[in-house]
Chain A
């Protein structure tokens, strides 16, 4: 069979398959996005680089094209970092009033202990023109506070790490649902043919973390696994299996892939299965990734000024700071969803020394990232998100006035911030009560945040669904979720 003939019979098959899916018959209830995925998989999407064609996505004009999610795992303390409560000094060492606590659940770590108020261990400053409050442990972030949009009234349902982080990233506390990055790359497809749509980086730490980062945090759940986050490792092999074996140079691999493609073409002609054509293309993309990824992670073309901007740690590969530079490089390359994880924010004890150590890790690099995105004109269409799975409680854990004291988990309120990508710079939204214990105004649930992030990317959270086990699942779950339009610029 000549190549032409193969192609024309394949085209015919493709044409029918396309209409077959667009026809949406009974019993073939696939989501709009899955449809484009199927089309793309079968080579039906005319332009493989943008797979969201013809299926109504985005649902409306997007304010952001991509996301950088700076995930702070362990529960950073809003009381030291952002949510200033000067009145707490008068309550120092006194028991938290029942009227505030309202029988709220505690973890079993402090359930048996008296809830004695521990005022913030950090001092605060009002920053910039917006006058946002940022704790003294984050001096660099304070300088860019006018670019940030703070949500002081975040709240979640879960009080323990793994369930809370799972809810924070997948909308449900039980593992197995797709992560937010998966939903977004699934919904919008990729704009870069040579890199995955969703990349994940984890800071290299020296001490074993108490909260491991499970791969379901960036998993695809029941969505196709090609949308799961791909981990960019700080290792000889930045993406698993990316390196050809030693001793096999590029030209030899190229020749081998050509031979493989030729043999697979023959098999395609014999069997007629269009999936073989897809496989041939995927092997080609794998070859391209072998150059695009090393080029991505090679920071030798970054200037000294850049390293100075992100701070001294940025010279250390694998650090949060170095990952921030990589995040900017990924944004430049139009990768859809870029997620950093910085562990070890779980400060149950010795909070003043422990928390400052983590602040030092992230402060300058995060501020550097904001500044850098802005000066390169990327901040307008890049949504930056900073936050963890919950906050920390106002009561001291351990002897409240000793250096050993820390804070326990607290889901009822915590602070996050967004920047760029269509949100109002310098805004502080929502507030908490005098104890940073309950939300006071404009509470924002995790699912509201999800709905808002999707909206900024042009996605209606009610309409990005996937049929699984007989139900139309969505990121925001079954409870009503609110798009917080007040945050929009």
Chain B
């Protein structure tokens, strides 16, 4: 019943029909057809132009039009042709034939005399009076468009929905229950406006807008290439937050970021602002020519400017003139000229000058916070140490008694299974010594596998032994009698199982070891740990007739199961070759501390030499060492020690951030560089020299202004520029409605989409400029419209008529960005640390994520204490691997302005299992338990915090059922309840609550955090 009229409607809506009375308009009707079908070969790009025909100028087009006899126009003949050789566009282009309607449009246009015009976005916006059908200008334009379709605005959204919606839009956070109550209690007409004003005045406003800007500005805390070195540009991020909070007009905001350094009496903050144009990736790869990199950066700046301010895909013009828009390759390089004389040399990492040495005023509190954490943990560590003295005394007596008859720390691996890859024969004698004989290949790997009798293994010892059968009685059968061990591996093998696991070796020491600087020669014992055959251990140059010894500490003590064996592999793959070990012995120990970290006599062996009666007078140094060895194994102490160490590292990190740090900024060279057109965009293929200039098709340069970056910025935000205000207004529209009035936020050019409400877009753009580019004013104007405040519920009929809500007959419903989801979880759970600015922090992320990417070069240590609960905006951004708890986020490599919104199972897993959300769920459970005694009150507390409304009775029924299910389980499985609760660092303070109850509420809180309503802009 519904379907037929709907199908017709959809057609009408999408093909922009030509009703009989409707005049053909060039820009709206004809230009899109030419752009889509003809410009690739007959457009502005000369290099691709075919048949010397251009259809992007009227002059060119007239050569294939016949105004006297329109039907005989070559253009029409070609698009109507049947012959594949003749028809346009040609089949090889994979473009479809023009539709009848399109041909008809062209015919009527020619009949009308082929009027010409500019693409809409290149005409200056003109403000027309809103239709007189609504008080609010936005509603007037939207209603007028809806009326054409026989539609109307939807009803206003429920107040709690509205509060939540606008709170997310303006601060990126949901309202707290008290903020919500205050709004709901206020029944005056002005309640909503007052609520909006409070949000605009909040410091969270600047943070919310900054996240938008950081994504577009490709802001990151690392370089992005090669070593992905850390940079310290975060004071710029804080400058952006501050600029939005003090409502710096957008034109000034632009000028300072382009040219703060060139302003008269530039303040440090104005110079800081120019970091915007240094946020690009930098490449310090070894073989890279820095000049090539520098040119990449210059081009990146122009592309970013094009996308973000002009809504143009200027990047296309790096290699050729634009295929669709009236921008030539020369225009492009003329724009790069403004950025080509920055005092930079294309280097990366810590050599990416120019820098501003800047001390952030926003780091002090972070230092204080970190210091508090250290102060809090220090006495606990000391206390744990003191508390360990008593058990140590007992331990010492027990050990002394135990070792009385002599003590042996190291136990040789005997009865080993021996193997060599290349054919050396290995045989073992009773004391564990292994002798090589038979073939003597240039290189070989030895593998030794044996059962271990110790209850645990903390380290291994390798003795390399001389023997008469070796060359010159030395250490190997190689010509020189010297050995080279390139790498070792320690593994565990389970009998009958298919798999082997690697053990991490934490350190290696040897009696003789030569430190190597270049990692490409032999000598250093540490070289055996890196799986790199270009370095390794040799004792060459020392006495080869003496045994040599190396000791390896395992990163974690190993406890072997009865059916497991230890595998020790010696790899001898040096380039020199002929240096395989001739005789050796491998031993293991269960002793922690100095035994496995030095080659000194093990402490307990020293202790064995002491008489029991003299234990009280034990040498204080030895006693101290023994105490250290005891502590290394004393779990209660280690927990406190590790916590203190982490806090100390965090403190020193933020202390560094509080000092003067280098921020990458713009500064002009004394001597400007000449700028060339680069042939096909290749950095060293230099074409003609071009002056600094702007594309005339957008707006011509006014002759008298000096050609500086400052004036370029002023040109961008001048009233003569048809693009910037429209583009930025569209950004804000997208922020509030999920989609822009022009859906292609990044492309206002001929290939972009036309605005759904062109007059509204222009009205807003002009209004924005006329009111001093006042962002807060613009946002308030939009959010106070009825259009914005509509309910987002949609009937099947309306959904069918307008599936994507292009006509705005309802409120916008879309999934919140993932950073906002984390922030919302922090705020609703009360965990949020609202501090503003400062050095980056590290929210929870699964173990090993950085290590995998960099093969262990970087380790991610989550922030501790209050720093863990900062907004996502402050999360350290590593370009090579963005924070894993985010999805659909901008990648921060190049400028990105349109959000991606997908819906995947991996997102579900993140929201269900990520520690950030589990911590929030636990905190919510804590609040629930304090809110009252009965389940409905408690469930209401969680629901209100998360979705800003109480649950309906039906929802309460379901939630109670889930609570009961979880409670039943955890009551019968208390160990699981504790395990579940212990998974985040959240400190439980509600000691009175039984674990089962706490765990059950946590699980239900996690469910509520995963409600579709919790994830959406409703």
Contacts and interface: CB of A to CB of B under 8 A. Distances in A.
A17 interface: yes
17 contacts: A25-B10, A41-B902, A109-B286, A162-B283, A174-B296, A175-B224, A212-B228, A225-B888, A240-B884, A253-B912, A256-B962, A271-B794, A272-B796, A282-B904, A349-B534, A353-B573, A470-B324
A272 B913 CA distance: 28
Contacts of B227: 212
Interface string A269-290: 0111111101100110110011
A239 to B, nearest CB: 7
A163 B894 CA distance: 14
Nearest to A205: B855
A266 B969 CA distance: 26
A25 B13 contact: yes
Given A273-B813, A470-B751, A282 B905 contact: yes
Interface in B964-1000: 965-966, 969, 973, 975-981, 983, 999
Nearest to A195: B905
A125 interface: no
B11 A352 contact: no
B893 interface: yes
Nearest to B914: A241
A267 B1013 contact: yes
A276 B1012 contact: yes
B1011 A263 contact: yes
B573 A356 contact: yes
Contacts of A274: 799
B297 to A, nearest CB: 12
Contact of A176 (B800, B891, B903): B891
Interface size class of B (residues with CB under 8 A): 35 or more
Interface of B: 2-3, 6-7, 10-11, 13-16, 32, 36, 94, 224-228, 281, 283, 285-289, 296, 307, 313, 315-316, 319, 323-325, 443, 486-487, 491, 493, 497-502, 520, 529-534, 573-576, 744, 746-747, 749-754, 792-796, 799-801, 803, 813, 815, 846-849, 852-857, 879-882, 884, 887-888, 891, 893-894, 900, 902-910, 912-914, 918, 954-955, 958-959, 961-962, 965-966, 969, 973, 975-981, 983, 999, 1003, 1006-1007, 1010-1013, 1015, 1018
A55 B614 CA distance: 89
Contacts of A213: 853
B34 to A, nearest CB: 13
* In the complex, the 3 A-B pairs of residues with the closest C-beta atoms, listed nearest first: A25-B14, A107-B287, A470-B751
A245 B913 contact: yes
A233 B848 contact: yes
A88 interface: no
B954 to A, nearest CB: 7
A318 B529 CA distance: 18
A49 to B, nearest CB: 14
Contacts of A244: 912-913
Contacts of B852: 202, 204, 231, 233-235
Interface string A71-101: 0000000000000000000000000000000
B800 A470 contact: no
Contacts of B285: 160-162
A482 B243 CA distance: 52
Contact of B1003 (A20, A208, A256, A266): A256
Contacts of A409: 287
A9 B796 contact: yes
A41 B900 CA distance: 13
A469 B750 CA distance: 10
Interface in A159-183: 159-163, 174-176
A10 B796 contact: yes
Contacts of B977: 247
Given A20-B14, A252-B969, A354-B533, A315 B913 contact: no
B359 to A, nearest CB: 31
Contacts of B965: 252, 255
A445 interface: no
Given A16-B803, A241-B909, A356-B573, A211 B226 contact: yes
Contact of A107 (B286, B576, B1006): B286
Interface in A1-54: 9-10, 12-13, 15-17, 19-20, 23, 25-29, 41
A272 B367 CA distance: 50
Contact of A175 (B491, B529, B853, B894): B894
B794 A247 contact: no
Contacts of B978: 247
A27 B753 contact: yes
Given A235-B848, A247-B999, A17 B14 contact: no
A244 B855 CA distance: 27
A193 to B, nearest CB: 10
Interface string A462-476: 110001011100000
B976 A248 contact: yes
Given A404-B520, A471-B316, A208 B856 contact: yes
B803 to A, nearest CB: 5
A175 B1007 CA distance: 37
B43 to A, nearest CB: 12
Contacts of B795: 9, 272
A286 B530 contact: no
A214 interface: yes
B903 A315 contact: no
A349 B520 contact: yes
Given A242-B913, A471-B751, A16 B534 contact: no
A353 B532 CA distance: 9
Contacts of A208: 530, 854-857
Contact of A404 (B499, B575, B893): B575
A59 B794 CA distance: 38
Contacts of A433: none
A259 B961 CA distance: 8
B813 A279 contact: no
